[in-house]
Chain A
Amino acid sequence: MNRVIIINLNGIAYQLEENGYDALRTYLDNAAQRLEGNPDKSEILADIEQAIADKFRVVLGANKNVVMSREVESALAEMGPVQDANSTGTASASADTSSKMGPDSGAASSGSRTENEKPPGAAKRLYTIQEGAMFLGVCNGLAAYFGIDVTIVRILFVILTWFWGAGILLYVVLGSIVPTATTSAEKAAAFGAAATTQEFIRRAKEGYYEGMKSLHDKSARREWKRRFKQDMQGWSRNFQSEMQRNAHRWQQHWPHPGGGPAFAAPFFWLINLAITVVIVFALYSLVKTGVVFGLSLPVGMPLWVGIVLLLVIWRCVMWPFKAMRWHAYYGGHYPPCGGPFGGFWDSIAGLAIAILSFWLADHYIPQFHEALKQLPPLLHQAIDSVQSWLEKR
């Protein structure tokens, strides 16, 4: 049996065991001391007393109207030392280390912190909680009871009540409740740009085929093609200006001063170089031995066809990289010859024409044929000399 001392906390009387009173007195005196010079000292102290009173109220009930010493001590440990917000780091740091070094207070505060999360009242009961509620506080209360986040409960509730058309509503709800993650401006810009490219191509394809389908005779088709080409050129100009504008926007957002995906350009150039080297090596081995990486030419296929095939393969492999390089370098300022897409087909067409004329010349002009016949041995000689020079080094 211990003596009880009645105190007043914010206008309400509490009965504390004698030792508990002493602990509380010490705590409040310390707090007053720490807050000396703080213009809000009395208000802060009032808040602290109120908080302590709340903690006391938790342990009191119909059959218990005295706060035990250890209950006072655990409440004070939860409160923590009063740190003047204006104090410098050293003062609060020392307060922290002192509270750390006391194992009792540490354990008590961590233990009581979980206690803190339980709603007041000995038995957990389901209430509707008005504070911070949207309508009737139903979701709020459910969340407190189950210990889930209110937001989750609200979302579930919305889903339950509105099953049809929940998509848009859910989206709006999520959009307003869930914090917007900051998409890096780069991602946004990149996506926007890709969208316009796709959009352009899609529109072009759709329009073109639509036109073709609706026209019946050849002359009308030709007319349509001509008109379409004109429109396409106009669009491509629009597209270019749009891409330029986008490029400016990207460059604003990009942290690196290099602008756009320019960092990728040397990388792609390296790939370009690597592939070219591979092709040169393939050509060399083809001419020398008639074998490329272990694959021999099909029987009867003249050498030059093999070379041409190799070149075409090279072009095909190069195309995506070249496209990306163009994109990186020019970032939308495509030169009038049509950029990477046009360039590829142009070069293929050019290659085809060159091959055709070559073959024709070979076939129909004997001198040319003779000269061509000389070529492989000449080539072999050249390669031999290069090889011997390499070996001499």
Chain B
Amino acid sequence: MDIEEKFSSIRKGMLEFLVLKIIAADQVYAADILKDLNATDFATQEGTLYPLLSKLRREELVDYEWKESESGPPRKYYKLTSKGREQLRDTLEHWQKIITTVKNLGQK
């Protein structure tokens, strides 16, 4: 197994966290989220993203509105809800703890 495969389950677990983070920065289309992620190691596909966005909307962490775009039909424009923001904050705290733990383990 090369290093990419070893980390694939971690990447999968982190996807929700990263999507929330992307949406928190700015209101985005699904295509924008994909574009941002595809520039990194966490590249993903529509087949994974759309169900995830639906789940987040069901949990009331994100919300969308239909926005007209010049080329083509109206699209969903996603933004973070206050509940989503709270959860992102908690997740970031937890993430910091994880980072610190990783840093300190094994150091004498």
What is A's interface to B at a CB cutoff of 8 Å?
10-12, 31, 35, 38-40, 43-44, 47-48, 50-51, 54, 57, 78-86, 89, 92-93, 96, 109, 113, 116-117, 120, 130-132, 182, 255
Q: Interface readout for B20-46 with A: 1 if CB under 8 Å, 0 if not?
A: 000000111111101100110001111
**How far apart are the CA atoms of A334 and B45 in the complex, in Å?**
62
Q: How many residues of B contact A (CB 8 A)?
A: 39
Count A/B pairs, Cβ under 8 Å: 88
Q: Within 8 Å CB of B75, what residues of A?
A: 50
Contact of B45 among A38, A79, A93 (CB under 8 A): A79
Chain B residues lying within 8 Å of A47, measured Cβ to Cβ, are 30, 46, 50, 53-54, 76
CB distance from B28 to the nearest CB of A (A): 7
Query: Which residues from A are CB-within-8-Å of B100?
Result: 255
| Interchain CB contact under 8 A, A10 and B51 | no
Name the B residues within 8 Å of A182 (CB-CB). 96
Select which of B9, B53, B69 is within 8 A of A93 by beta carbon.
B9
**Which residues of the other chain, A, contact B53 by a CB distance below 8 angstroms?**
47
Most buried by B among A83, A89, A93: A83
**Given A44-B50, A79-B47, A116-B38 in contact, is the A89-B12 Cβ separation under 8 Å?**
yes
Q: Contacts of B54 on A, CB cut-off 8 Å?
A: 38, 40, 43-44, 47, 85
Q: What CA separation (Å) do A51 and B96 show in the bound complex?
A: 35
Residues on A with C-beta less than 8 A from B31 are 51, 54
Q: Which of chain A's residues has its CB closest to B9's CB?
A: A89
The 27 listed contacts between A and B (C-beta, < 8 Å) are A10-B73, A11-B73, A38-B54, A47-B30, A47-B46, A47-B50, A47-B54, A48-B46, A51-B31, A80-B47, A82-B47, A82-B50, A82-B51, A83-B48, A83-B51, A85-B48, A85-B55, A89-B12, A92-B12, A93-B9, A116-B34, A116-B35, A130-B70, A132-B27, A132-B28, A182-B96, A255-B104
